[in-house]
């Protein structure tokens, strides 16, 4: 299989083209690290401005969608220690959070002095979503270039449950720990509004309710939420403009009690379903659902090519698929 000699995109990735040197079209289109750094500075300033607006308005300045993984843990640490925000860490337990990740969340929140709220959607419904999402293409091609159907379904629920909770609690800022490869700088500080959310919500809610029924509507905004127009928060994902280095991040969060899980795959530090979701996606589409994210990080110099290559094409720890199959009730 042909793989880009600069990043790690494979020839099986939709729409990718290679030149005579084996460099992919995404790498040729990249405007360079200097332009990116300029953009990062601009967005960091925007972020600083809205942090000041968010301060001391309600009980919390900021909510963070907290998975217990390394990226959201680091984001939480920075928001607390560097910007001194009053934070509510908010976790959606999809039924597949690694035990170590759970312990990590508890230690980190305790050590940082942060309130922590865990919401656990009923497992029968989540299981049904994951099973049906592994057999049906319910999202656009573009979406599936960036994440598996299972991941997209789960993250969709996380985003809308988090937003409706922020609206109910009147929290002006929602932070996510998206890696710099996952989400671009130009979306890292964004005010959301009812119109935008109605449109994006229907893209997830519509297919999911068709797949598993209307019970899933409990995880989405209702007209009551949409009427709270004054409360619609800013979404931020600070890792897009902060310095990002995986080893340094792990070292820093190690100091507040985070320990690396040994039971997750190379692209997750919290979720035991991820290996299964990746496996389904690779078999279905012929490319790894994390390759776009990791290729972005390699291209922009955030991650070494060898390290990125290993994450996508390297051997995964054994037993992860069996465990996911068992918990989902898949035989065989
Ligand atoms: Zn490339």
Phi, psi (deg, nearest 5) at residue 249: -60, -45
CA atoms within a 13 Å half-sphere pointing along the CA-CB vector of 293: 18
Report the pLDDT value the prediction gives residue 253, as an integer from 0 to 100: 98
CB contact at 8 A, 77 and 108: yes
CB contact at 8 A, 328 and 131: yes
Q: How many whole angstroms from 270 Cα to the centroid of ligand 1?
A: 28
Please compute Rg for the chain using Cα positions.
Answer: 19
Q: How many whole angstroms from 7 Cα to the centroid of ligand 1?
A: 4
Q: How many whole angstroms from 310 Cα to the centroid of ligand 1?
A: 16
Count helices and strands (H / E) in the chain. Answer: 14, 6
Q: How many whole angstroms from 289 Cα to the centroid of ligand 1?
A: 16
Q: How many whole angstroms from 291 Cα to the centroid of ligand 1?
A: 11
Q: How many whole angstroms from 66 Cα to the centroid of ligand 1?
A: 31
- Domains (range + CATH), the chain: 1-30 (no CATH), 40-328 (3.40.50.620)
Q: How many whole angstroms from 111 Cα to the centroid of ligand 1?
A: 41
Q: How many whole angstroms from 30 Cα to the centroid of ligand 1?
A: 9
Q: How many whole angstroms from 313 Cα to the centroid of ligand 1?
A: 15
Q: How many whole angstroms from 37 Cα to the centroid of ligand 1?
A: 19
Q: Rounded distance, CA 206 to CA 214, Å?
A: 10
Q: How many whole angstroms from 16 Cα to the centroid of ligand 1?
A: 9
Q: How many whole angstroms from 312 Cα to the centroid of ligand 1?
A: 14
Q: How many whole angstroms from 1 Cα to the centroid of ligand 1?
A: 14
Per-residue pLDDT of the chain (332 residues; tens, 9 = 90+): 999 999 999 999 999 999 999 999 999 999 999 999 999 999 999 999 999 999 989 999 999 999 999 999 999 999 999 999 999 999 999 999 999 999 999 999 999 999 999 999 999 999 999 999 999 989 999 999 999 999 999 999 999 999 999 999 999 999 999 999 999 999 999 999 999 999 999 999 999 999 999 999 999 999 999 999 999 999 999 999 999 999 999 999 999 999 999 888 889 998 999 999 999 999 999 999 999 999 999 999 999 999 999 999 998 877 889 989 999 999 86
Q: Rounded distance, CA 281 to CA 247, Å?
A: 28
Q: How many whole angstroms from 17 Cα to the centroid of ligand 1?
A: 9
Q: Rounded distance, CA 40 to CA 87, Å?
A: 24
Calculate ∠ Cα 55-60-62, nearest 5°.
75
Q: How many whole angstroms from 281 Cα to the centroid of ligand 1?
A: 21
Q: How many whole angstroms from 27 Cα to the centroid of ligand 1?
A: 4
Q: Rounded distance, CA 209 to CA 125, Å?
A: 11
Q: How many whole angstroms from 168 Cα to the centroid of ligand 1?
A: 43
CA atoms within a 13 Å half-sphere pointing along the CA-CB vector of 222: 8
Report the pLDDT value the prediction gives residue 318, as an integer from 0 to 100: 78
Q: How many whole angstroms from 106 Cα to the centroid of ligand 1?
A: 39
Q: How many whole angstroms from 148 Cα to the centroid of ligand 1?
A: 21
CB contact at 8 A, 178 and 237: yes
Q: Rounded distance, CA 105 to CA 94, Å?
A: 15
CA atoms within a 13 Å half-sphere pointing along the CA-CB vector of 320: 25
Q: How many whole angstroms from 83 Cα to the centroid of ligand 1?
A: 36
H or E element that contains 89: strand 87-92
Q: How many whole angstroms from 28 Cα to the centroid of ligand 1?
A: 7
Q: How many whole angstroms from 26 Cα to the centroid of ligand 1?
A: 5
DSSP 76: H
Q: How many whole angstroms from 190 Cα to the centroid of ligand 1?
A: 28
């Amino acid at each position: 299989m042909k793989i880009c000699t600069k990043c790690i995109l494979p020839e099986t990735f939709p729409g990718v083209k290679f030149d005579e040197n084996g460099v992919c079209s995404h790498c040729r289109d990249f405007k360079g690290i200097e332009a990116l750094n300029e953009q990062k500075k601009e967005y960091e300033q925007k972020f600083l401005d809205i942090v000041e607006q968010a301060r001391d308005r309600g009980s919390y300045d900021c909510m963070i969608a907290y998975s217990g993984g390394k990226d959201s843990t680091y984001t939480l640490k920075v928001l607390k220690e560097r910007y001194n925000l009053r934070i509510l860490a908010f976790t959606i337990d999809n039924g597949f959070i690694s035990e170590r990740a759970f312990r990590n969340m508890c230690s980190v929140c305790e050590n940082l002095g942060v309130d922590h709220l865990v919401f656990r959607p009923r497992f029968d419904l989540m299981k049904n979503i994951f099973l049906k999402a592994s057999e049906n293409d319910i999202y656009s091609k573009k979406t599936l270039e960036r994440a598996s159907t299972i991941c997209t379904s789960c993250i969709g629920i996380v985003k809308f449950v988090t937003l409706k909770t922020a609206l109910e609690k009147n929290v002006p800022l929602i932070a996510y720990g998206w890696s710099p490869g996952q989400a671009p700088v130009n979306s890292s500080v964004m005010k959301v509004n009812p119109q935008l959310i109605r449109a994006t919500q229907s893209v997830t809610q519509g297919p999911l309710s068709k797949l598993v029924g209307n019970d899933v509507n409990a995880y989405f905004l209702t007209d009551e939420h949409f009427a709270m127009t004054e409360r619609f928060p800013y979404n931020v994902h600070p890792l897009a403009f902060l310095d990002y280095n995986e080893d340094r991040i792990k070292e820093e969060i190690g100091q507040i009690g985070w320990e690396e899980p040994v039971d997750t795959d190379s692209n997750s530090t919290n979720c035991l379903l991820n290996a299964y979701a990746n496996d389904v996606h690779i078999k279905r589409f012929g490319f790894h659902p994390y390759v776009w994210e990791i290729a972005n990080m390699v291209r922009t110099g955030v991650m070494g090519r060898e390290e990125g290559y290993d994450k996508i094409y390297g051997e995964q720890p054994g037993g992860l698929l069996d465990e996911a199959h068992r918990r989902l009730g898949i035989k065989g």
